[in-house]
């Protein structure tokens, strides 16, 4: 499903986690486009979630961050997004998920290490867990749906609204803003998660007037920009679909 370099990279991560946590390692999951059948070398990143039994000890945290650092073992994708949870953090589900470690490392970003969930927008983690439960791939341990608690649909829809607001201010003219909105619009109307490109194709087939979708698809590889006014229009229509879904679900 993935190129050889990416497959070997995931094997390295899994072996590192097994060595570090032994029987405390509950599961390792591949999320994101690599698991959802839409990986695109270049614009795609690699999303890995680990679940352990118990809290990360300081020495374990240091070894984990150092072992995954791009400077030590280079990520073949844009970057690695790695999150480690205590098993109690993923079942039962929480409106604002807690994590033990959130690490971003790669060639296109400075290394980011967080151990305090209060410092990060929680909608990212809730949506990752919800989508990953439906579409993630187990590298170690049980299937995601057997371990990760179901996230209520209303929570997912509210997290989508938070995500849309974040993109409004942080990425107003990026293809990523458009593609995230498309995926969210599709979920709001169909209750089905998929990749960003699958969401974009779904929106384009139903709303051909939204030409910004095609612009986002063609511009994502070159980190291009889209017309912010056109993106605003698409996001406004996405919000309307999400609001309608919340009313129906509540």
Q: What is the pLDDT of residues 225-242, one digit of tens each?
A: 999 999 999 999 999 999
Q: What is the mean pLDDT of residues 59-87?
A: 96
Asked if residue 172 has pLDDT above 90, the reply is yes
- Would you list the domain boundaries of the chain? 4-147, 153-249
Give the pLDDT band of residue 174 (cuts 50, 70, 90): very high
Q: Is residue 240 helix, strand or coil?
A: helix
Residue 178 and residue 74: Cα distance in Å, rounded? 29
Give the pLDDT band of residue 24 (cuts 50, 70, 90): very high
Q: Is residue 27 helix, strand or coil?
A: strand
Lowest mean pLDDT among 8-17, 35-44, 73-82, 124-133: 35-44
pLDDT (tens digit per residue) in 68-77: 999 999 999 9
Longest dimension (CA), the chain: 55
* DSSP-assigned beta bridge partners for residue 182: none
| pLDDT value of position 222 | 62
Asked if residue 246 has pLDDT above 70, the reply is yes
Taking Cα atoms as reference points, which of 64, 18, 68 lies closest to residue 47? 68
| pLDDT value of position 128 | 97
Q: What is the mean pLDDT of residues 139-144?
A: 98
**212-219 and 196-206 helices cross at what angle (nearest 10)?**
150
pLDDT (tens digit per residue) in 98-109: 999 999 999 888
| pLDDT value of position 37 | 84
CATH number belonging to domain 4-147 = 3.30.460.10
Q: What is the mean pLDDT of residues 205-220?
A: 94
| DSSP assignments along 105-157, one per residue | EETTEEEEEE--GGGS-HHHHHHHHHHHHHH-EEEESS-HHHHSPPPPHHHHH
Q: What is the mean pLDDT of residues 68-97?
A: 96
Q: What is the mean pLDDT of residues 46-65?
A: 97
Asked if residue 170 has pLDDT above 70, the reply is yes
Determine contact, residues 145/134, Cβ cutoff 8 Å.
yes
| pLDDT value of position 31 | 97
| pLDDT value of position 42 | 76
Which two three-digit tokens encode residue 43?
């614009």
| pLDDT value of position 209 | 95
Determine contact, residues 217/234, Cβ cutoff 8 Å.
no
Asked if residue 113 has pLDDT above 90, the reply is yes
List CB contacts of 33: < 8 A, sequence separation 6 or more: 39, 40, 44, 45, 195, 196
Q: What is the mean pLDDT of residues 165-192?
A: 97
């Amino acid at each position: 499903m993935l190129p050889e370099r990416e497959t070997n990279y995931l094997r390295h991560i899994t072996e590192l986690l097994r060595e570090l946590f032994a029987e405390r390692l509950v599961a390792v999951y591949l999320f994101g486009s690599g698991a959802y059948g839409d990986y695109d070398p270049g614009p795609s990143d690699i999303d890995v979630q680990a679940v352990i039994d118990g809290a990360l000890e300081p020495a374990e945290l240091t070894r984990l961050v150092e072992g995954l650092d791009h400077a030590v073992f280079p990520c073949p994708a844009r970057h690695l997004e790695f999150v480690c949870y205590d098993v109690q953090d993923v079942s039962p589900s929480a409106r604002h998920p807690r994590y033990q470690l959130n690490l971003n490392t790669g060639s296109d970003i400075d290394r980011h290490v967080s151990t305090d969930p209060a410092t990060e927008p929680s909608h990212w983690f809730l949506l990752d867990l919800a989508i990953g439960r439906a579409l993630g791939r187990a590298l170690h341990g049980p299937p995601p749906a057997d371990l990760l608690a179901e996230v209520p649909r209303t929570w997912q829809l509210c997290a989508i609204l938070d995500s849309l607001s974040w993109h409004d201010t942080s990425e107003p003219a990026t293809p990523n803003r458009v593609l995230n909105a498309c995926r969210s619009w599709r979920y709001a109307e169909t209750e089905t998660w998929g990749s960003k490109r699958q969401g974009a194709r779904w929106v384009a087939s139903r709303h051909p007037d939204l030409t910004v979708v095609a612009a986002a698809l063609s511009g994502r590889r070159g980190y291009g920009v889209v017309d912010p006014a056109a993106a605003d229009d698409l996001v406004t229509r996405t919000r309307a679909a999400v609001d309608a879904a919340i009313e129906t679900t509540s």
